[in-house]
Chains A and B, each alone.
Chain A
Amino acid sequence: MTPDELKQLEQARLYLIKDLQRVSKQIRPTEDFAKRVISAAKLRGNLQAGWTERLLGHFHFTSLVGVRVAFAIVVLLAFLGAIPQYYRWIDSFWLGVSSNQIHQAKIQEMLWEKNFACATQLDQSADGYAAITNEHVVVVTWACPSGDVLVTLESPIDEASRRSVWIPIRRMHRSANLLDLIIPSANAAKHGSRLDKRSAQMVTVLCQKWLPNRFIKRRIKLADNRCVEEIINPRTGDVVQRQKSSCKSDC
């Protein structure tokens, strides 16, 4: 609409406009209105300055553009410099581990993938199987053809407490004896003949498979022929769920 068109319309509605110009004429605030406003504003106290103003103080109203530019650059650099940390936080959230465990969690998951078929064949009677125990812990090792070893730590008194960790072959080169990685030789010397290679609880894996949420479901047969089904977090090695199951070999 052009200015002239509006002007013409306003001429046609002049009586309305004249009345509109009078609608507030007789409206007056109460006598103490100004005092009330100033008291209320003072009571509100802190001025809600924006964060830049709080940081820069009085610079906000100066023409120190250079200060603002320098401040913006510093903030931007700090933000960009923290990007790797953001990725760590995101990984930490998705993997379900703390940020300092991300690297190990990814390695563990990779080793589970690499040796999945081998882990499914875990069997007490097979050559790669070894177990060692003391009164506090049972250690089961399962060596795969790749050279990676699955080490499972179990508690003799708490059947549900188990943790599995893969040790990749690279690390084995640093130690002639696999068991040194698990049980310090000092501890072995301390317990002496009390260490014996008994069968551990986890004796045979009947089947296992990957779940959509990247956890592993496995069914195992214990020494007493009971079967249990477990859900394992491959990134931490923890058994997150455990229940009795049939001894069928199809997961």
Chain B
Amino acid sequence: MNWERLEKCDQIVLSHIVDGNYHDALEAMVGGYQHVMVGFCTNMIGDQTQAEETAQEIFCVAFQAMPRYRQAASIRTWLFAIARKQCFKVMRTQRRRGRIERERLSLIAERSHRDPALAPEEDPEIAVRELRQALQRLDKAERSLLLMRYDSELQISELAHILGISVASVRRRLARALDHLREVLTDDPR
């Protein structure tokens, strides 16, 4: 994650918002954060098409909320707070079991056709796909926490602001989420 580039983007977005140029702020925000948001939503929801729609909705909600932006948090933190809420909203109405089962079956099929000389743990693509599937089996709160911390590289203080809890609580929840992820990965999916 290139946070230096995104920090510059944040400054540009903020100055547009302060000046009341919300359309310019939106364009700058989309330009800087579209990859981040689509990636986050894909890993949260599990389906890239729906993830793009959700990411689109996130930017629209942020655009409409710009006049109320109080600068209590950075642009990045504010945007991720919106993203988390929107993903949760989508997931509440989503049917996940059928999709997870299909992914499990495709992973098994892929393994059976893999080069036998290559061990599973040595194939990075398989590892990432297994991780994605394991993430889908986590509680959505833990999933979002792990993605925001390790994939999107938000600071612990930023996570505390987004979740409205203390920094110590964030650390505890991260530790628990990492343990749960490890348990899910070590479970035999078959």
Contact = CB atoms under 8 A, between A and B. Distances in A.
A2 B17 CA distance: 37
Given A10-B178, A20-B150, A47 B35 contact: no
B38 A28 contact: yes
A24 B66 CA distance: 27
Nearest to A34: B30
Contacts of B135: 23
Nearest to B178: A13
A83 interface: no
A242 to B, nearest CB: 55
A30 B34 CA distance: 10
A17 B153 CA distance: 11
A42 interface: yes
Interface in B47-62: 48, 52, 55-56, 59-60
A6 B174 contact: yes
Interface residues of A, number: 37
Nearest to B41: A27
Interface in B61-104: 63-68
Interface string A53-94: 100001011000000000000000000000000000000000
Given A19-B131, A44-B60, A37 B30 contact: yes
B1 to A, nearest CB: 8
16 contacts: A6-B171, A16-B182, A19-B127, A23-B39, A23-B43, A23-B131, A23-B147, A27-B39, A29-B55, A33-B52, A33-B55, A41-B60, A42-B23, A48-B65, A50-B67, A53-B68
Interface of B: 17-18, 20, 22-23, 26-27, 30-31, 34-36, 38-40, 42-43, 48, 52, 55-56, 59-60, 63-68, 124, 127-128, 131-132, 135, 146-147, 150-153, 168, 171-172, 174-175, 178, 181-182, 185
Interface of A: 1-3, 5-6, 9-10, 13, 16-17, 19-24, 27-30, 33-34, 36-38, 40-42, 44, 47-50, 53, 58, 60-61
